[in-house]
Amino acid sequence: MFSDARSKSIILVAHCILNQNSISDGTATAPGSIKEIMELLGKSDVGVLQMPCPELMCLGLDRGNILGGSYPVVEENTRIRKMLSQKPATRIIGKLIQDLIFQILEYRKYNFHLRGVVGVNRSPSCGVNTTSANNKEVEGEGVFIRALRHELNRKSIKIKFVGIKPFETDQALTAIKGLVGMD
């Protein structure tokens, strides 16, 4: 099955890397997508699974604060993190995770290679190495990445995670090249 041109290789990417329009006010570093990352992924022949944006799905575009863009990023991210940690946001995140796990299991069932997950450090939801808490950037995972990793571990699924900062282009490209085998 699937003996056509597809690479059978997939990478999971944080929503905002492909769509900067989805992120909180005051944090976009590009008008649409992060072009350098999009170009790299296009050259890699790896399929891109765009993860859902938990902040958008739980809190909307304004993240529950129409003045959010006027606050320092880590302060607004801390507020967002607190909101994502409360019900009903945790229920929505749980559903988003289950939908993502379904896709992962489908790809695994047909022996697709899951290259890894690319999250966005400092994010209250998709941070891999760092997140925002207590009005500063701290070590740790965002709410969504933590929930995803927990569910993957529960199902004994091993996937590499890398955290990037889109505005640190060279480091981001190096990390992603490692996942897609272009290093």
Render pLDDT for 113-122 as a digit per residue (tens, 0 to 9).
999 999 999 9
pLDDT at 2: 82
Contact 154, 51 (CB under 8 A): no
Task: Render pLDDT for 120-150 as a digit per residue (tens, 0 to 9).
Answer: 999 999 999 999 999 999 999 999 999 999 9
Task: Render pLDDT for 55-80 as a digit per residue (tens, 0 to 9).
Answer: 999 999 999 888 888 999 999 999 99
At 154, the pLDDT band (50, 70, 90 cuts) reads: very high
Task: Render pLDDT for 73-116 as a digit per residue (tens, 0 to 9).
Answer: 999 999 999 999 999 999 999 999 999 999 999 999 999 999 99
User: Which DSSP helix (H) or strand (E) runs through 43?
Assistant: helix 35-44
Classified as helix, coil or strand, 181 is: coil
Stated pTM of the model: 0.95
d(CA 100, CA 105): 9
Contact 92, 57 (CB under 8 A): yes
Q: How far is CA 168 from CA 11, 62, 97, 112, 171, in A?
A: 20, 25, 28, 30, 6
